[in-house]
Structures are given as C-alpha cells and as structure tokens.
C-alpha cells in the first residue's frame, strides 16, 4: 500500500464542517444595526469569516472609531449565542471524520472561533472526542498567520510538509501557504471559487462527500 501524502488533516470549522456562514453574516449585520453603524452587505460580512472576532469586526468596518469594535464583538456574540445551538454540520461530515480517523490520520481544527465557542460547537455536534487537537483565534495569532498550524503540528509531533489545511476561505489557504502546509478549498462556504483559485489549492471540493472522496484517494 503506498504511503499517504499527509498524516495530519486540519479543518476550519465555520463554513467547512458547520453550516454557519449565513448565520454569521446575519449576526455581524445585526451587531452593526444595534449600534447604529453602517450595515455591511452580505459579501463584505462573509469575507471576514474565519478571522478572529475582533479582527473580523475591524476588517468589515475598517473606518470606525476603535471604541466601537469591542461593542460590535459583544453584540455579535449576543446574537450568535441565541441561535448557535440550532446550527448543523454539513451532510457527510460525521461519516467523513469517522472514516479518516479509522484510517489513522491525525485530525485537528484551526478556527477563528473562541475556545468557548468551539467547545460549545463540538459538544453540540457530538465531536468532542474526534479531534486530536484544536486551536482557536483567542489562543494565538488569527489567520492567515501560520501560528495555528505551527502549534498544532508541534503539539501532535507532526511535520508541516505532511499536513494539509481544509477550509472555505482565502484566510485558510493563505495560512497553509504561510506555514508551508498543503491547502484544500471548499466551494460551499464563505468565499467564492474565484477568490480561492489564485491561492492554488491542491483541490477544491463542491461538497463534503466530494472532499471525502478526494481525501480517500489522494491524501
């Protein structure tokens, strides 16, 4: 049997494993509306998904008085926590993760969520025991800085050259490039295929089953 190309597969969370892009966009817009600030359109709000929360608010409304950003974060969390228990995984995610784990891959998450937010999501999705390690934006540098991937590989004793990052945004793919890891894009999340293409991912998947099939054959 040929040696696998990768040993560690790192997944983004929102828009890659969890079907949460639309909810996040609405919560960013609601936070701005609460504070009487300009409401970003869907494209602008979706583009910042994947960044740490403070970084996302600064990116989506870059010209604000800095005092507004912590208030934007607070209002966003208020709206998001009211509905995050209703969010669901994309079809095929539990089966894909179980299969990859059974094949002996190390599995990890690198996300712009907070630690509290990721733990809530993992608990709701019943995936707390699936991942070998996880890293959140409030624990280290936000994407696209390579720190999350560097820290995950160190924690698990893995090699970045044999690590692949799977995500739905340019932030994920740029982080992989910055870390010297492989990158795989998905087309069903926050960023468009046209936005992902210039970052030259190894593969882009149209669905979770499509991603699962490619990983089984090529990873």
Q: Is residue 3 part of a domain?
A: no
Q: Is residue 26 part of a domain?
A: yes
Number of domains the chain is built from = 2
Taking only the tens place, the pLDDT of each residue in 186-213 is: 999 999 999 999 999 999 999 999 999 9
Q: Is residue 16 part of a domain?
A: yes
Whole-prediction pTM = 0.93
Any idea what DSSP says for residue 167? E
Q: Check whether residue 187 and residue 211 sit in a common domain.
A: yes
Q: Is residue 146 part of a domain?
A: yes
Q: Check whether residue 182 and residue 209 sit in a common domain.
A: yes
Considering the chain, what is the average pLDDT of its residues?
A: 95
Banded model confidence at residue 1, pLDDT cuts 50, 70, 90: very low
Instruction: Tell me which residue range forms the domain holding 36.
Output: 21-85
- Please confirm, yes or no, whether 84 is among the known catalytic residues: no
Taking only the tens place, the pLDDT of each residue in 121-164 is: 999 999 999 999 999 999 999 999 999 999 999 999 999 999 99
Contacts 24+ apart (CB under 8 A), 116-125: 117/80, 117/84, 118/13, 120/84, 121/13, 121/18, 121/84, 121/87, 124/84, 124/85, 124/87, 125/17, 125/18, 125/89
Q: Which of 7, 14, 19, 168 is catalytic?
A: 14
Q: Check whether residue 99 and residue 71 sit in a common domain.
A: no
What is the structure's pLDDT at 3? 66
Q: Is residue 104 part of a domain?
A: yes
Q: Which of 12, 55, 84, 168 is catalytic?
A: 12
What is the structure's pLDDT at 2? 56
Q: Is residue 71 part of a domain?
A: yes
- Please confirm, yes or no, whether 12 is among the known catalytic residues: yes
Q: Check whether residue 78 and residue 128 sit in a common domain.
A: no
């Amino acid at each position: 049997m040929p040696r696998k190309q990768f040993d560690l597969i790192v997944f983004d969370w929102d828009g890659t494993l969890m079907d949460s892009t639309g909810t996040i966009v609405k919560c960013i817009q609601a936070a701005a509306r609460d504070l009487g600030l300009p409401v970003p359109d869907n494209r602008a709000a979706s583009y910042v998904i994947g960044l740490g929360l403070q970084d996302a608010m600064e990116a989506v409304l870059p010209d604000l008085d800095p005092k507004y950003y912590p208030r934007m974060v607070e209002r966003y969390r208020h709206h998001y926590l009211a509905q995050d228990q209703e969010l669901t995984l994309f079809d095929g995610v539990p089966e894909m993760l179980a299969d990859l784990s059974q094949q002996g891959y190390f599995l990890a998450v690198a996300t712009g969520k907070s630690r509290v937010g990721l733990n809530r999501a993992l608990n709701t999705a019943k995936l707390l025991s699936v991942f070998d390690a996880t890293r959140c934006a409030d624990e280290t540098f936000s994407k696209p800085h390579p720190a999350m991937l560097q820290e995950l590989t160190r924690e698990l004793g893995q090699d970045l050259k044999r690590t692949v990052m799977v995500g739905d945004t340019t932030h994920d793919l740029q982080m992989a490039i910055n870390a010297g890891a492989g990158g795989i894009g998905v087309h069903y999340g926050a960023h468009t295929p046209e936005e992902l293409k210039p970052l030259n991912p190894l593969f882009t998947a149209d669905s979770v089953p499509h991603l699962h099939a490619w990983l089984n054959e090529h990873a």
